[in-house]
Structure 1
């Protein structure tokens, strides 16, 4: 019997026409129609043709809807061949996990995620920041020593994705100098600027997070033995830590590496990643090389890979 874990993508993988294939499938199309009722924008246009999807305010609800519709289609098929044991998501994908697991209602999610994106977008406009993926052996130790040595922070650790990949956030104008400095410290590091609007999951998001906390307090989580991992702590959500952990997610480091390893230790023998490309699948493999991973990017993938 398969024990499935599911992981949902975060922001950065969006593209124009992301959800076009979803409207060619009756199940995903009908699901998106139900979500459209709780959106204050044209969801179909956003997912199929609008360039607004490239902007944080709209990218976040678009990716939420994209992933939830695919999971809704896949879930019934997965349950025929195994049990869905746990849920997680990278950054924004955590909200998808909370919806897919039933902890939060989808109509709540569409509204709050859109506002989350709006606040984060405004923060990026007020202070231009960016993210850099840093890859290499012992990358966490190298970055930690650099932070300790410099004292005043020229960057923050945003995402701990795997033992060989860390994402850091910095002020945009300092990007080139920071990459140069990192390469001087360790020539084997590979530094890749990411196509995002700002340095999410760092203190650069403090002001946006302060405003957003009011939204979180309006949520009504329903825990029914559902295992959903928190990006902030890297551990499972529960009724006692829910509001605190979710309120600290936007402006603190995410711990996807810890989450993936915990899923493996918990007996998960197949991880399903929902992502338009294979980037999330690669992160899983960097943490658990022997894990069976299936990436779902379209309804056709579900039919072909799951049945």
Structure 2
């Protein structure tokens, strides 16, 4: 059998839960040091937000981006100390920053500074152009694209992430998302609202690009 190679994939926004990282923060001084650095760079009480919430505050992208990123770095640090030697690093959306840090391309300090500023800009745009995201499961991409085209009559909406053959994320204003949900059901799929605070990966946050 050929030698198996290890890949590490870092998650992004929507993966958060209250209590994440608790076991590391309680037992690992190096994890606490990373968290302390993240709190200093971001200016936010990330430990409290990650452990106690409330979830609405943790989910705000200005908080969640540094919170999720430091958790990714803490988990990677534990894997590295355990002797895990990946051949590949990858990240899903925000998780790309954790992957870059783990690969040694960007320092942890630079990474946390970048995602803090990214979160600030995205929150600014979401306040001006509010929206959300839904994961559509059990439908092929062609069907989802057709649903999105139909829902555009109600407002701005787009296919945001093609995660797998039958998991596609759509992003946009609340009205077209609401219009899309019953169409998804009619086609035999399911639309699952995501735990995010804006219409990420859509034109609604394009105003952040110049900054």
Query: Which TM-score tier does this pair reach, normalised by the shorter chain?
Result: 0.7 to 0.9
Q: TM-score, normalised by structure 2?
A: 0.85
Question: What is the CA-CA distance between 1:34 and the residue it aligns to?
Answer: 4.3
Equivalent residue number for residue 129 of structure 2: 127
Aligned match of 2:97: 95
Contact 1:158 1:199 in 2 (8 A): no
1:92, CA displacement in angstroms? 0.6
- Greater alpha carbon shift after TM alignment, 142-151 vs 172-181: 142-151
Residue pairs, 1:18-97, within 5 angstroms:
18-26=20-28, 27-51=30-54, 52-79=57-84, 83-97=85-99
**Correspondence for 1:143:** 144
C-alpha contact 1:78 1:84 (8 A) present in aligned 2:
no
In 2: Cα distance, 1:34 partner to 1:195 partner? 26
Query: 2:151 touches 2:179 (CA, 8 Å); kept in 1?
Result: no
Higher helix share: 2
Structure 1 151/170 Cα, relative in aligned 2: closer, same or farther at 3 Å? closer
Tell me how far apart the structure 2 counterparts of residues 15 and 151 of structure 1 sit (CA, whole Å). Answer: 32
CA, structure 1 residues 146+13, in 2 after alignment: closer, same or farther (shift >3 Å)?
closer
- The equivalent residue for 1:305 is none
How far has the Cα of 1:16 moved from its partner? 3.1
Aligned counterpart, 1:205: 205
List runs of 5+ in structure 1 lacking aligned partners.
212-307
CA RMSD of aligned residues (A): 2.3
How far apart are 1:127 and its partner, in Å?
A: 1.6
For the residue of structure 2 that corresponds to 1:168, the secondary structure is strand
Kept in 2, the 8 Å contact 1:130–1:199? The answer is yes
User: Gapped runs of 5+ residues in structure 2?
Assistant: none
CA contact (8 A) 1:31 1:69 kept: yes
Q: TM-score, normalization: structure 1?
A: 0.61
- The 5 A counterparts of 1:1-307 are 1-26=3-28, 27-51=30-54, 52-79=57-84, 83-137=85-139, 139-146=140-147, 154-184=156-186, 186=187, 188-211=188-211
Contact 1:98 1:104 in 2 (8 A): yes
- Secondary structure at the counterpart of residue 3 of structure 1: coil
User: Is contact 1:16-1:54 (8 Å) kept?
Assistant: no
